[in-house]
Amino acid sequence: MTLSFLLLAAIAILGAAAAMNLKSAVHCVLALTLGMVGLAALYLQLGAQFVGLTQLLVYVGAVAILAVFAIMLTRSRTGETVAHGSASSRISGALTALLVFAVLAWAIFTGVSPQPLSGAQPEASVREVGVALMQRFVLPLEIIGVLLTAALVGAGVLAIEEKGGDR
C-alpha cells in the first residue's frame, strides 16, 4: 500500500461518508462527486485509463449534473435539507452494507485468479476494450443501445404530455 493509494482511498471513503451525513442536498451531491473522483483516481492509479476516465466523464460530467438539476427543478427552495432516515431504516441499511462488505471480502480473499498475474501491464487497453465491445460483446451493446433509446423516447413522451393542454 503506497501513500498515494491511502490518500485516494481516504478521499473516496470520506466523500461517500459525507454524502450520507451532510444536511444540504446539494452538499451531498458534491460530496458524492468527490467520492467518485477518488474512485476514478484509484482506477487511474491501477493503470485502467479507460475505466477511470469513463468514470470521471459519466459520474462527474453527467450523473452529478443530473442530480443537481433534479434537485434544482424539483425542490421549491434550493438546497433544502434532506430528511435522514429513521432508526429502523438506518439499522437495515447498516446490515445491508455489512453483508455486501462481507461477501466482497470473502470473494476477494478466497478467490484465485484463473491465471497468475504477470508483471507486464497490457498495453493499448483502450483498443482492447473497443475490440471487445465491437466483436464479443456486440449483442449486449446493441441491446443496451435499444434500451437507452426506449428510455429517451419515454422521457420525451412524458415531457410532452404535461404540456398537452397548452397547445
* Binding footprint of other proteins on the chain (CB under 8 A): 24, 26-27, 30, 33, 49-50, 53-54, 56-57, 60-62, 64-65, 68-69, 72, 78-79, 123-127
**Cβ closer to other proteins: 162 or 166?**
166
DSSP string for residues in 22-44 = -SBHHHHHHHHHHHHHHHHHHHH
* Residue 158 CA from chain centroid, whole number: 26
Min. distance of Cβ 40 from other proteins in angstroms?
8
Min. distance of Cβ 158 from other proteins in angstroms?
17
d(CA 9, CA 46): 13
- One-letter amino acid identity for 122? P
**Cβ closer to other proteins: 16 or 53?**
53
Min. distance of Cβ 50 from other proteins in angstroms?
6
**Cβ closer to other proteins: 20 or 50?**
50
**Cβ closer to other proteins: 108 or 158?**
158
d(CA 68, CA 27): 10
d(CA 65, CA 19): 15
Min. distance of Cβ 83 from other proteins in angstroms?
20
Min. distance of Cβ 68 from other proteins in angstroms?
5
d(CA 122, CA 129): 11
> By the 8 A CB rule, do 141 and 133 touch?
yes
> By the 8 A CB rule, do 30 and 52 touch?
no
**Cβ closer to other proteins: 16 or 18?**
18
